[in-house]
Amino acid sequence: MHRLRSLRLPIAALLLLGGCATGRVPEAIRDPALPSPAVTEVQQRPETFIGQRVRWGGSILDVHNARETTRIEILARPLNSSGEPDDTSRGLGRFIVELPGFKDPAEYPKQRRLTVAGPLVRMETRDVGDYPYPYPVITADAWYLWPNPPPVAPVLPYDYPWYRPWYGPWYGPWSGPWSGPWY
């Protein structure tokens, strides 16, 4: 019985930390049960999907602020099970999301990943270069701006603990009277 009392605090701490790990991402973004059609399906048959709730995500292409909303153009990407867009995959089409209020373009920069959930409200045609492109428009009621991944350190070709070319023959892990020059 005494052992169970001593384990109460560590178990409570683990549960609390586990809840914090997923607490920031909204449930509508994490929920993979929301069946979402592909952007290309919506572009081909928009009347079938208008009013349907979708969960899409991708890379930000552009941000436009209006008086009461912010319109963000996104290049759709496949989502993993937690709703995070996969940057390494090809784009699946473009869509526009409308967020309420002002969103600073400095906080929503190009190429940042964003996942949104909300109803599909209409289609808009805009030019991409000289091509008229049909954009599905979502009014988001849940969204999550994913943090940038940490930078990866480059791997040096001879990055062993015992090889550093700047050491020279008299420095390094084998320096000493038995490994130095013998005069």
| Residues 164, 156 contacting (CB under 8 angstroms) | no
Q: In which residue ranges of the chain is pLDDT below 50?
A: 17-22, 183
Name 143's bridge partners.
116
Neighbouring residues of 46: CB distance < 8 A, sequence distance ≥ 6:
123, 134, 136
Predicted confidence (pLDDT) per residue in 37-87, tens digit: 888 999 999 898 999 999 999 999 999 999 999 999 999 999 888 888 888
- The rounded distance, in Å, linking the Cα atoms of 19 and 4 is 22
Q: CA distances (Å), 22 to each of 16, 18, 74, in order? A: 11, 7, 24
pLDDT of residue 80: 86
What is the dihedral angle through the alpha carbons of 108, 113, 119, 121, rounded to the nearest 10 degrees? 60
What global pTM score does this model have?
A: 0.68
Angle at 29 between CA 74 and CA 54, to 5 degrees: 60
What is the dihedral angle through the alpha carbons of 15, 21, 26, 30, rounded to the nearest 10 degrees? -100
Helix (H) or strand (E) holding 95: strand 94-100
Length of the chain: 183
